[in-house]
Amino acid sequence: MSEFAAITPTEFEADSPHGPLYGQVWRGDDGQLPILMLHDSLGAVSLWRDFPQQLAHATGRTVVAYDRAGFGRSVVRTKPVAASFIADEAHEGILPVMQALGLERVILLGHSVGGGMSLAAAAALPEQVAGAVTIAAQTFVEERTLQGIREAKLAFAQDGQIERLARYHGERARWVLDAWIETWMAPSYADWSLAEVLPEITVPVLALHGQNDEFGSERHPKMIAELGGGAARMLMLEGIGHMPHREATDRVLAEIGRFIDALG
């Protein structure tokens, strides 16, 4: 058994505008800023696998992960998500979780769409967010992103694929898949972008991105680095796809560690 596995998480529940949110906490040094994680479009706490434990062990900090409303073990949702769902997460997920755990200030870490949520929240909540790390984040609707979603839609049409997703989301699985595909593919969503949000961010940002990311080109981290209102830096990871925290775990942990050490 690896050493980080000794950090056993505790469960919590937070009240959100949509209903109860499920989450876990890996306790570390209470004297340091905690890390709050935001999952991707099909994600959940369980789909981070052992990365939260590794992150807690590598940094010595408390790490928090939660299932967004409609995902994992959080409240079931039936209605389509609003087009403003990325910006909405600051008040519908992040703040409720912080309040439930008594957290005053956090470092956000988001993967894929969770990265976009981290950036939007950093702009909206400057008093509560000390910094943000994005992993494979999208900042606008790129054709490469849409093509990746089209291919994923075909793959999920195969026998057994929804059942596989249901292992993590239960009865929410179909809603989770539709919330991702139908939102991003909607013509009304084609003009979505963080271009106007990024200049409002005043805290440091680290944008990690794989050169082989099938859901987004280097234009996304470049936008973060060029438009970010604070000290924003991008880092491209050679030979890595959309899951840098799985494909290059040690490198990602090291880069995150260096970045957050400077935040306090």
The pLDDT score that the predictor gives to residue 7 is 83
Of the pLDDT bands very low, low, confident and very high (cuts 50, 70, 90), residue 1 is very low
Domain positions in the chain: 3-261
Q: With a threshold of 0.85, does the pTM exceed it?
A: yes
Average pLDDT, integer, range 211-226: 98
Which 3 state secondary structure label does DSSP give 135? strand
Of the pLDDT bands very low, low, confident and very high (cuts 50, 70, 90), residue 30 is confident
Give alpha helix (H) positions in the chain. Answer: 51-59, 85-89, 95-101, 113-124, 143-156, 161-169, 173-185, 219-227, 244-247, 249-261
**128-174 pLDDT per residue, tens:** 999 999 999 999 999 999 999 999 999 999 999 999 999 999 999 99
CA angle (188 as vertex; 183, 190 as ends), nearest 5: 80
How far is the C-alpha of 40 from the C-alpha of 137, rounded, in Å?
Answer: 9
**39-77 pLDDT per residue, tens:** 999 999 999 999 999 999 999 999 999 999 999 999 999
Domain over 3-261 is classified CATH 3.40.630.40: no
Neighbouring-strand partners of residue 47: none
Strand-strand pairing, 205-210 and 63-66: unpaired
The pLDDT score that the predictor gives to residue 253 is 98
